[in-house]
């Protein structure tokens, strides 16, 4: 979330005087303020892609009151969280409980004390800031859990999970899935002759080149060492071979530039595609692709071999 959006606050009240008072106070605090006169208008703003993360909603809004608006916002489970301050002239205990149970995070009793408003808005902003940091930390952990630290592409576990999901989808949709297993030729010699740092550069370069050769919805992961596994949804054998050949040709025609040297690096690739009617599982597909890769290595490297059968 950008800082601009983070500072936005929506006010929804059908009282123009109240709106002006709240707007002036919030603007002095550095907030960008969106003013709405009814619940429907507030709903449109709060469900937009650039929705403000905080809203001050009057209980008695026309079209859709503050309670209904709270309930509807809380039903959107996958939507970004909106911190809601309910504005109400109802000061009875049961009313406040009803508002909080509807989804409000806090409340203000009319007529508003502006100092109390400032304190409650600052408290809400602190909570939103903490939530933002938590989401960023979760995203970072997810990245670490699913991506290879060296190359930045999917790691072994993540790409295997993708293959499992794609095979399930392929069975439902009656579509083939292509699998490519690729290996950097003579990679041990690259490490021995030019050093492990140069070898790391080669692996990063290979990963990025593979990505440029794949279709937008294909996936590639580092399977282990210098091996890469590609998952190609809705891909017939002939198309999978074309993609593999594109990768092989790209590597063969452009040496990898490192600080140690410009290193010629080629790849051997084994290709397989699932048959629509088959009950083949992911391990069998990987085994077939790996056998084809082994045959490519035995046949002289720098080539693409299609799995038999």
Distance, CA of 24 to CA of 18 (rounded, Å): 10
Please calculate the CA angle 26-65-24 and round it to the nearest 5 degrees. Answer: 15
Which tokens is 244 given?
């593999």
CB count, 10 Å around CB of 208? 13
Contacts 24+ apart (CB under 8 A), 28-33: 29/118, 29/121, 29/122, 31/7, 31/121, 32/4, 32/7, 32/8, 33/8, 33/9
Q: Which of 4, 92, 161, 226 is catalytic?
A: 226
As a residue count, the chain comes to 309
- Residue 182 belongs to what H/E stretch? strand 177-184
Q: Is 77 in the active site?
A: no
List all residues 6 or more positions away from 250 whose beta carbon is below 8 Å from its beta carbon: 209, 212, 213
Distance, CA of 118 to CA of 24 (rounded, Å): 12
Which tokens is 80 given?
């970004």
- From the list 291, 287, 304, the residue with the least C-alpha distance to 244 is 304
Catalytic residues: 226
């Amino acid at each position: 979330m950008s800082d601009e959006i983070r500072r936005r606050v929506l006010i929804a009240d059908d009282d123009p005087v109240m709106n002006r008072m709240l707007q002036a106070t919030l603007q002095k605090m550095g907030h960008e303020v969106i003013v709405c006169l009814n619940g429907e208008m507030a709903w449109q703003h709060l469900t937009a892609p650039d929705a403000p993360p905080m809203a001050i909603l009057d209980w008695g809004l026309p079209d859709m009151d503050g309670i209904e608006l709270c309930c509807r916002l809380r039903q959107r489970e996958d939507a970004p969280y909106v911190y809601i301050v309910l504005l109400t002239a109802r000061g009875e205990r049961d009313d406040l409980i009803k508002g909080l149970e509807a989804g409000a995070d806090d409340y203000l009793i009319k007529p508003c004390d502006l100092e109390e408003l400032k304190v409650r808005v600052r408290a809400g902003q602190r909570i939103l800031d903490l939530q933002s940091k938590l989401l960023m930390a979760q995203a970072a952990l997810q990245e670490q859990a699913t991506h290879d630290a060296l190359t930045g592409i999917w790691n072994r576990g993540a790409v295997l999970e993708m293959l499992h999901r794609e095979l399930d989808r392929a069975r439902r949709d009656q579509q083939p899935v292509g699998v490519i297993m690729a290996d950097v030729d003579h990679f041990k010699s690259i490490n021995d002759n030019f050093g492990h740092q140069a070898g790391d550069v080669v692996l990063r370069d290979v990963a990025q080149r593979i990505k440029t050769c794949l279709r937008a919805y294909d996936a590639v992961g580092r399977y282990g060492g210098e091996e890469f596994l590609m998952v190609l949804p809705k891909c017939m054998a002939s198309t999978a071979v074309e993609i593999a050949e594109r990768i092989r040709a790209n590597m063969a025609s452009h040496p990898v530039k490192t600080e140690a040297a410009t290193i010629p690096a080629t790849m051997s690739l084994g290709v397989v595609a699932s048959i629509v009617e088959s009950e083949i599982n992911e391990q069998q597909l990987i085994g077939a692709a790996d056998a084809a890769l082994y045959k490519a290595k035995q046949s002289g490297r720098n080539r693409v071999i299609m799995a038999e059968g």
